[in-house]
Amino acid sequence: MIADAAKPATTSPLEDVLSVTDRGLYCAAGDFYVDPQRPVDHAVVTHAHTDHARWGCRRYLAASDSEHLLRMRMNKDAEFQFLPYGETITIRGVRVSFHPAGHMLGSAQVRIEHRGRVAVAMGDYKLDADPTCADWEPVRCHLMITESTFGLPIYRWKPNDVTAGEINDWWRANRDAGRCSVLYGYAVGKSQRLLAMLDPAIGPIFTHGAVEKGVAAYRDTGVGLPPTRYVGAVEGKPDWSGAMVVAVPSAHGTPWMRRFGKVSTAMASGWMAVRGARRRRALDRGFVVSDHVDWPSLIEAVNTCDPETLWVTHGYSAVVARYFQSQGRHAVVIDGRSRSEEEDEASSSSSSDREDSE
């Protein structure tokens, strides 16, 4: 289903629809920001990761599915408004709607229409199937803003069930060898997707505190996840062998890990596609699980939405822009957002952890 851009009757220049400012993407006509990088009055946010939903704004507008996550993570005194996918709200004559981005629970593309011109800010997105969130939908637009975290042809994701099989095989082998499996993923989004990939028949599943909070928000939103237990709520000295612990990357190598005894550790991240990134960490395994578009999906998304203008941000922006230029498309780099900030929890231990942010 492709939501059609309204036929342009009178066109407005793109700058009225969206422009790049030092606070982030700004819609002048509607006087709101999309994923502002600093506290502003009116923020429209694509998803609940903290480099997109910045703490301290006065009003937040987001997709309904992100309600539990946003209320958990943002300032309590803020004013929230939530809108189901596909429904339109008009802000000072600007039509705003959310469409699934497939990145995580509640993640959305923001469609902004003003006087017949349509801009779509994708936020972070992926095209692969993910049982913990709604599937990405293409939206026709004049201006598309895409991320480029994995915007190189070396990044190609395997189907979700293939990777899930790899993870479960690893877990099973660890269980049979009497080891505890510790799987690292970003606290919100990635971890819950990982949980959904696990086969609870293999053994009990435990969560790190930061992960458990996200799990609660997912369950409250109605996402089906296998039964989990919070590590911190476990009493006594249980036998951890055969268990699966889903934790944040910053837990690696900390005293918190000692309780598990013999462990095998693995990281789930798109970066794990490259051997050097796997080897730099002293981890036993690296699984390629990403909530961002890989190279073929990125190309598919852009060609399907077919914008007149493409803005590229967040990652290999220059490479992706140059690639689309070579394909005859008008593509521009609009970098501003730094990668490192998404990683609010994992960045504390080392600089290399920072790349894990997804």
Minimum gap (Å) between residue 251 Cβ and another protein? 10
Q: Are 337 and 314 in contact (CB under 8 A)?
A: yes
Nearer to another protein, 214 or 315 (CB): 315
Minimum gap (Å) between residue 152 Cβ and another protein? 5
Gyration radius of the chain over CA positions: 21
Residue 14 touches another protein, criterion: CB under 8 A: no
Residue 328 touches another protein, criterion: CB under 8 A: no
Task: Work out which of 254, 303, 304, 325 binds another protein, going by CB under 8 A.
Answer: 254
Burial class (CB in 10 A: 0-12, 13-18, 19+), 339: middle
Binding window for another protein (CB under 8 A); candidates: 134-142, 201-209, 226-234, 318-326: 318-326
Residue count (the chain): 358
Binding window for another protein (CB under 8 A); candidates: 17-25, 130-138, 228-236, 284-292: 284-292
Residue 335 touches another protein, criterion: CB under 8 A: no
Q: Give how many residues touch another protein by CB under 8 A.
A: 30
Place of tokens 């837990």: 251
Minimum gap (Å) between residue 34 Cβ and another protein? 28
Q: Are 290 and 268 in contact (CB under 8 A)?
A: no
Nearest CA to 190 among 296, 302, 271, 91?
271
Residue 255 touches another protein, criterion: CB under 8 A: yes
Q: Is the dihedral of CA 188, 191, 193, 199 positive or negative?
A: negative
Minimum gap (Å) between residue 255 Cβ and another protein? 6
Task: Work out which of 92, 156, 262, 330 binds another protein, going by CB under 8 A.
Answer: 156
Residue 257 touches another protein, criterion: CB under 8 A: yes
- Residue 321, sorted as left (phi over 0), alpha (psi -120 to 50) or beta, turns out to be alpha
**SS3 (DSSP) at 355:** helix
Nearer to another protein, 237 or 275 (CB): 275
Residue 258 touches another protein, criterion: CB under 8 A: yes
Contacts of 77 (CB under 8 A, 6+ apart): none
- Rounded-to-integer distance, Cα 144 and Cα 126, Å: 15
Minimum gap (Å) between residue 279 Cβ and another protein? 7
Task: Work out which of 23, 285, 329, 339 binds another protein, going by CB under 8 A.
Answer: 285
Q: Are 178 and 242 in contact (CB under 8 A)?
A: yes
Residue 39 touches another protein, criterion: CB under 8 A: no
Task: Work out which of 7, 76, 237, 275 binds another protein, going by CB under 8 A.
Answer: 275
Q: Are 134 and 221 in contact (CB under 8 A)?
A: no
258's tokens: 């000692």
For another protein, the binding residues (CB under 8 A) are 152-156, 253-255, 257-258, 273-276, 278-279, 282, 284-286, 296, 316, 319, 322-323, 326, 349-352
